[in-house]
Amino acid sequence: MSEHVIDDDTIDNIEILAKLSLTDEERLQAKADLSEMLSYIDRLNELDTQGVEPMSHVFKVSNVFREDVVTNGDGSADTLSNAPARKDGMYQVPRTFEE
Amino acid sequence: MEIKDMTAVGLSAGIRSGETSVREALDCVLKSISENEDRIHAYVTLEEPEKLYKEAEIIQKKIDDGSLKGPLSGVPIAVKDNMCLAGMPTTCSSKILENFHSTYTAEAVRRLKDAGVLILGKTNMDEFAMGSTTETSAFGPTRNPRNPDHVPGGSSGGSAAAVAAGECFGALGSDTGGSIREPASFCGVTGLKPTYGTVSRYGLVAYGSSLDQIGPLARDVTDCAAILSVISGHDPKDSTSLERKDTDFLSCLNEGIRGMKIGIPKAYFGAGLDQEVGDAVLKAASEMKSLGAEVSEFDLDYTDYAVPCYYTIADAEASSNLERFDGIKYGYRAKDYEGLHDMYKKTRSQGFGPEVRRRIMLGSFILSSGYYDAYYLKALRVKALIRKAFDKAFSGFDLILGPAAPNTAPLLGTSLSDPLKMYLGDIYTVPANLAGLPGIVLPCGTDAKGLPVGVQLMADCFSENKLLRAAYAYEESQKAAGRKCSGCRE
Amino acid sequence: MPYEQYETVIGLETHVELATKTKLFCGCSTEFGGKPNSHTCPVCTGMPGSLPVLNRQALKYAIAVGLATHCEITRHSKFDRKNYFYPDNPQNYQISQLYLPICRNGWVEISTPSGKKKIGIHEIHMEEDAGKLIHDEWTDSSLVDYNRSGVPLIEIVSEPDMRSGEEVTAYLEKLRLILSYLGASDCKLEEGSMRADVNISVRPAGSSLFGTRCEMKNINSFKAIERCIRGEAERQIERIEEDKKEVVQETRRWDDNKESSKAMRSKEDAKDYRYFPDPDLVPIDVSDELLAEIKEEQPEFQEEKAVRYKEEYGLPDGDIRVLTSDKRLAEIFEETAKLSGLPKKASNWLIVETQQLMKEKNEEPKDLHFSPEHLAVLIKMADENKVSSGAARQIFNAVYENDCDPEAYAKEKGLLIVHDEGALRAAAEKAIDSNPKAAADYRAGKEKAIGALVGFVMKELHGKADPGQAGQLLAGLLKN
Ligand SMILES: [Mg+2]
Ligand SMILES: [Zn+2]
């Protein structure tokens, strides 16, 4: 079983993907945890799964639809009721537009 | 019989016959809560007593005028805090949702309310259902009512403890990898994870969407069956909800265990299993045999691969499911930040606890480019193999019997330091989630320290009736032998 | 190497909003506008615990577009999650299709002055639209409105088969025509219901290798697309020729005011979307029945209509091109032709007078609200000489405006030609009596002299006579 070495670049990338920022101490811990878990997960490679279809859903259910009928009214009050910051009936967030 | 010793179904019958009332039932649980809650901390949010009494009065009226007559009408029940209930906070025991009030009610909870259940409040859990001890809750751990130095199990530890402590007459939990069954085992109550798709997930805050199922934690098998009957059934709001017609789980209970073929996977009794737990579980098996079941050992393939397969899938899904917690629409937002992405990062780093962050990181990595095939698709293929192994097993057996956990409840503060070791404790419960199977756990004894041991039965998909029949027969035999009902306080 | 020796290679990712009443995964209205966040619910705002359920009509539209663009329909299709953080995306993942898009391997034919050409369709997939971000100047923050969040889109991904802005415009016009014939989309550019990202690369003319491409975003009109393609091709060639540098594969934001683009680079954008099948949605198995149902509902498209118009009505190519350029116009034509029995005349009214009025009023065929019945009546009135051609145009203005009954209108306004034999004879006799010289000239063989007499009759009857009929009558009277 191969030992995973999680380097700083990998952690940097995970921070961007998962939108987390780690302290130096947390970073060390994360490296250790991730390599241990990945090595553990690696044991799945002991199994030959050639020709086995990946199974996302346990049941072969398909075609679950709704009809195209409007069922919802003005939801703005509920939608905004938990907003940490709002203005003019909208969520307020740090600027997204570039200069 | 005193109210505090009644089962949910017994209590409701008593209320409907006029022997007791919804108000007296509420008095009883509130008394128990005031006596125990400081020590146990089963709840995150309790409904205000005035509101509860008002609601009790409304329910009582409907019972009196005959418009409510179901087997749970008037019964006070608790709900795990990852299910939405309009007007109440839904925190998932996380700082990131500390101030979040749901604007709608989860389908399963709505069905309980429609059946005349009195919802007491929201129970503590591992943060976002990630954990096996309820110690990852941002609001402090729940303690095991059987011995407060020990954990109640998790992630539905608050629900299990509330049932065990008499702080409710039943509770809803959710089970992604054993989160109903393991705490049921540790707290000595009865817990059931239904077939995937049997209970709507609408309004259940997702952890691993392909694995999550809501189910009951209760004082006995009958209560489990009654709660499941109420909350199950097709929901058009959940695309993975099944069109099941067979959702009466009560009328089958008396059909007995005689003639049922029960298989015991040899690998479930190997290294890592606590001797006392193994002995208690095998004793339960032999009692089932004496009740007329055919019990034999067999080889269940891929047992050792279920845990790594499970964590790969669950963490990948979780990393995506938890992206929505970003400080924009609800919940916690960091105070000081420079720009959008810094706000995201600070909010999520401060809002999520270490175990949740750990799983998000692993899940994000597993799905990232270059690793998706090697880890995620590989795990989905192994899942297919595991499912096949169960198909093979159920072609020869009605039920599979084993432990719910390798040990009894550990001491508080001893589990989180070694996550991998904690994950390995899920070995007996995650297979049912991967394969979509129903599983029930009920008490079968105690260890030398007096901590409960649970026995788990698994059945093929849609075969909850078989599980319940066998569990009921075993439970009846235990009661006949003078042991108290599983959830009732000693 | 001079610029002319380069060839521009262009592929498009066209996002089209489908014309469903509700969003892709919830029962919220897709109506444009409305109070911010009023068309929202737990599902389309990513509330904890909410779950998506697929809109059947959105699927049908997507398949219909696929069939119309000669795609293979993926019989077993799925939705995947595309994970990225941005405030317009409430779940921070977009539900889209990566691994098994609903349609693949199609084509559409375009015509440009240089001829006809097939443009390949790589795939068509379904996905949800994002919310809208508005910059708030006062607080220097952004505001989010989720009314558009979850509106169904299809993304039509072309092959890199186009070589000029002209071809791109023809391709988009073709898509727009197909989509509007299907009723699958309103294709309103101003409301953003059709928008395209453009992939551009350059290579030495004649080369079969592809250059490094750039993805151009924020292009808001057909005109801007042509400018953007020219600008970006020049930038790339300049970089290669003058800076002696390679083109960098990147996403660039087009600024149509400045006619230049800027790389969208941020170290926070990892460009790693971690796609995986959405566990909240079940697969789609397109059954034979569903496919048959959709095929049954496919309209007759432009090409087929054009062939039929030629055969059935014998119309000139120019007429056919205009009439079939819009499904609504074609429908009005067919109905009018049927009711009047005069297809060429119906065509004339629709491609001359109607087009002119539309232009004046700045309207499109979808704004036309007169009924084919009334137009047919008017055409027959003119054909039967019940009104003069000038009066007919006057009546048509009223029909176009208010869909009024042309007969009632003509009567009310006194525009009907007098076919009353007595009145006509009286006027003719009066004309002869009052114009003895003209009468005499005619009798003497000066046939032209009858013109003055006809003019008198017309004047006498306030222009409501049929000049031909008056001439005949006069000639008869003068013979005696
Ligand atoms: Mg897209
Ligand atoms: Zn919605």
Domain boundaries, chain A: 8-45
Q: How far is C382 from chain A (nearest CA, A)?
A: 46
Residues of A with CB under 8 A from a CB of C: 13, 16-17, 19, 56-57, 61-72, 74-76, 78-80, 87-98
| Owner of token pair 């503590």 | B124
Asked if the model's pLDDT at residue B235 lies above 80, the reply is yes
- pLDDT at position B483, please? 67
B69 token code pair: 């007559």
d(CA B182, CA B151): 11
Strands C152-158 and A86-87: unpaired
Q: Do C85 and B102 touch (CB under 8 A)?
A: no
Asked if the model's pLDDT at residue B489 lies above 80, the reply is no
CATH of the domain spanning B1-234+254-490 = 3.90.1300.10
- Long-range contacts of the stretch A6-15 (C-beta < 8 A, 24+): A6/A30, A6/A31, A6/A34, A6/A35, A6/A38, A7/A31, A10/A34, A10/B365, A13/B368, A13/C270, A13/C272, A14/B361, A14/B364, A14/B365, A14/B368, A15/B345
Sign of CA dihedral C206, C209, C215, C220: positive
- pLDDT at position C447, please? 85
The answer to whether B217 and B251 have CB atoms below 8 angstroms apart is no
Q: How far is the CA of C118 from the centre of ligand 1 (A)?
A: 23
Asked if the model's pLDDT at residue A39 lies above 60, the reply is yes
Q: C residues 50-109 near B, CB within 8 Å?
A: 50-54, 81, 83, 85, 87, 90-93
d(CA B39, CA B138): 17
Q: How far is A1 from chain C (nearest CA, A)?
A: 26
Q: By the CB < 8 Å criterion, does C468 face chain A?
A: no
DSSP symbol at B96 = G
Share of chain B above pLDDT 90, in %: 97
Q: By the CB < 8 Å criterion, does C35 face chain A?
A: yes
Cβ pairs bridging A and C (under 8 Å): 139
The predicted model gives B1-21 an average pLDDT of 96
Out of A17, A64, A76, name the one closest to residue C54 (CB).
A64
Judge residue B399's burial from the number of C-beta atoms within 10 Å of its C-beta, 0-12 exposed, 13-18 middle, 19 or more buried.
Answer: buried
Closest CA to C87 of C148, C131, C53, C44: C131
CA distances from B390 to B210, B284, B461 (A): 18, 22, 10
Q: Please, which residues have CB within 8 angstroms of residue C330's CB and are 6 or more apart in sequence?
A: C305, C323, C324
ω into residue B155 within 30 of 0, thus cis?
yes
The answer to whether B56 and B106 have CB atoms below 8 angstroms apart is no
d(CA C448, CA C438): 9
Out of C29, C54, C141, name the one closest to residue A65 (CB).
C54
Closest CA to B369 of C98, A42, C211, C266: C98
- Which chain B residues are closer than 8 Å to A52 by Cβ? 381, 384-385
Q: Do C21 and A68 touch (CB under 8 A)?
A: yes
Work out the pLDDT band at A98, boundaries 50, 70, 90: low
The answer to whether C423 and C458 have CB atoms below 8 angstroms apart is no
Strand order in the sheet with A90-94: A86-87, A90-94, C141-145, C132-136
Rg (CA), chain C: 31
Compute how many other C-beta atoms are within 10 angstroms of the C-beta atom of residue A81.
13
C224-255: b (≥16 Cβ within 10 Å) or e: bbbebbebbbebbbeebeeeeeebeeebbebe
Domains with residue ranges and CATH for chain C: 3-289 (no CATH), 300-412 (no CATH), 421-479 (1.10.10.410)
Ligand nearest to the CA of C275: 1
Q: C170 by DSSP, 3-state: which? A: helix
Q: Do C90 and B329 touch (CB under 8 A)?
A: yes
Beta bridge partners of B173: B215
d(CA B341, CA A19): 7
- Which chain A residues are closer than 8 Å to B210 by Cβ? 56-58
Give tens-digit pLDDT for A53-68. Answer: 999 999 999 999 999 9
Give tens-digit pLDDT for B347-373. Answer: 999 999 999 999 999 999 999 999 999
| Owner of token pair 């069905």 | B111
Chosen from B324, B343, B433 to mutate, greatest number of chain C CBs within 10 A: B324
Q: How far is C125 from chain B (nearest CA, A)?
A: 20
Chains that touch A (3 or more CB pairs under 8 A): B, C
Q: Do A90 and C53 touch (CB under 8 A)?
A: no
Beta bridge partners of C126: C154
d(CA A3, CA A35): 7
Share of chain A above pLDDT 70, in %: 95
Q: Do C270 and A16 touch (CB under 8 A)?
A: yes
| DSSP conformation letters of C22-79 | B-SSSS-B--S--STT-S--TTTTT-TT----EEHHHHHHHHHHHHHTTPEE-SEE--
DSSP symbol at B254 = G
Closest CA to B116 of B77, B82, B83: B77
Q: How far is C146 from chain A (nearest CA, A)?
A: 8
The answer to whether C103 and C69 have CB atoms below 8 angstroms apart is yes
Sign of CA dihedral C179, C185, C186, C187: negative
Q: By the CB < 8 Å criterion, does C272 face chain A?
A: yes
Work out the pLDDT band at B485, boundaries 50, 70, 90: very low
Work out the pLDDT band at B153, boundaries 50, 70, 90: very high
Asked if the model's pLDDT at residue B79 lies above 50, the reply is yes
Q: Please, which residues have CB within 8 angstroms of residue B62's CB and are 6 or more apart in sequence?
A: B68, B73, B116
- pLDDT at position B487, please? 44
The predicted model gives B241-266 an average pLDDT of 96
- pLDDT at position C465, please? 79
d(CA B401, CA B403): 7
Which secondary structure element, helix H or strand E, spans residue A93, and what is its range?
strand A90-94
Q: Which residue type is seen at A75?
A: G
d(CA B124, CA B159): 7
C302 token code pair: 């432009």
Give tens-digit pLDDT for C146-193. Answer: 999 999 999 999 999 999 999 999 999 999 999 999 999 988 766 778
ipTM, two decimals: 0.97
Out of C48, C83, C279, name the one closest to residue B205 (CB).
C48
B384 token code pair: 């297919």
**Active-site annotation of B, residues:** 80, 155, 179
H helices, E strands: number in chain C: 16, 17
d(CA C330, CA C323): 5
Q: Which residue type is seen at C51?
A: L
Q: How far is C48 from chain B (nearest CA, A)?
A: 5
Q: C278 by DSSP, 3-state: which? A: coil
Q: How far is the CA of C18 from the centre of ligand 1 (A)?
A: 14
Q: Please, which residues have CB within 8 angstroms of residue C13's CB and are 6 or more apart in sequence?
A: C155, C156, C157, C158, C196, C197, C198, C199, C215
Q: Do A21 and B345 touch (CB under 8 A)?
A: yes
The answer to whether C92 and B276 have CB atoms below 8 angstroms apart is no
The answer to whether B383 and B375 have CB atoms below 8 angstroms apart is no
> What are the domain boundaries of chain B?
1-234+254-490
CA nearest to C266 within chain B: B341
Closest CA to B203 of A72, C51, C150, A79: C51
CA nearest to C142 within chain A: A95
Residues of chain C with pLDDT under 70: 1-2, 189-190, 480
Q: How far is the CA of C154 from the centre of ligand 1 (A)?
A: 8
Rg (CA), chain A: 23
